[in-house]
Chain A
């Protein structure tokens, strides 16, 4: 099946620093990747949709200057949390869209393992 990796799996940083998280599709090309945020015992909240070669589309309420997304290739998208603060501490998960599942056009998303960000 389609595999998506994320790096790092966890990171601890000081307030005011920037953190970059990588998301890679390992065995398929992903023209579209998604970035989610998840707080404890809550569901996934979509932050932005990342399309290869174009600017990301951010959901309402998500600061695009704070959460920089770059989708430079068909297998790599990055999320940079700039000037991180303790309230940015969360579980960040990416997914990649595989438009072909079992030979049908089904648009399934495959998720990475997530990155736990803790800002001190």
Chain B
């Protein structure tokens, strides 16, 4: 069956360190993968998209890698800040106009 797995445990890191979140998938052939941030009681906010033929993408303090051989994406936040505390969701789609499926999310807590 198809699965998208993210760290089920909350991730606690010290302010200033790099946070690394993992998204693993099985039985998918994604055309692209997206990362979203969700704050409690709010809708997800789009952060980054990476295509199947891209290895890495950056945006300010954010970096996403995509390894289709390992079937894994890593999401990095460098110089983390308490304001980065939130739940981060990965989502993938198998092609244009295909349904986007979300992972369960990882809750990140940045400790001052």
Binding site for B on A (CB under 8 A): 1, 4, 6, 32, 34, 42-44, 46, 49, 91, 93, 95, 99, 101, 105-114, 116
Q: List 12 A-B contacts (CB under 8 A).
A: A1-B46, A6-B43, A43-B104, A44-B102, A91-B41, A106-B32, A108-B46, A109-B100, A111-B43, A111-B45, A112-B43, A113-B43
Residues of A contacting B100 in the complex (Cβ-Cβ under 8 angstroms) = 34, 107, 109
- Say yes or no: A49-B96 contact (C-beta < 8 A), given A44-B44, A112-B43: no
B99 and A114 within 8 A (CB): no
B41 and A49 within 8 A (CB): no
In this complex, the member of B44, B103, B104, B105 whose beta carbon has the largest number of chain A beta carbons within 10 angstroms is B44
- Say yes or no: A110-B46 contact (C-beta < 8 A), given A43-B102, A44-B102: yes
Binding site for A on B (CB under 8 A): 32, 34, 36, 41-46, 49, 89, 93, 96-97, 99-105
Tally of contacts, chain A with chain B, CB under 8 A: 49
B46 and A109 within 8 A (CB): yes
- Say yes or no: A46-B99 contact (C-beta < 8 A), given A106-B32, A108-B49, A114-B43: yes
B96 and A107 within 8 A (CB): yes
- Say yes or no: A114-B41 contact (C-beta < 8 A), given A49-B99, A109-B46: yes
Residues of B contacting A110 in the complex (Cβ-Cβ under 8 angstroms) = 46
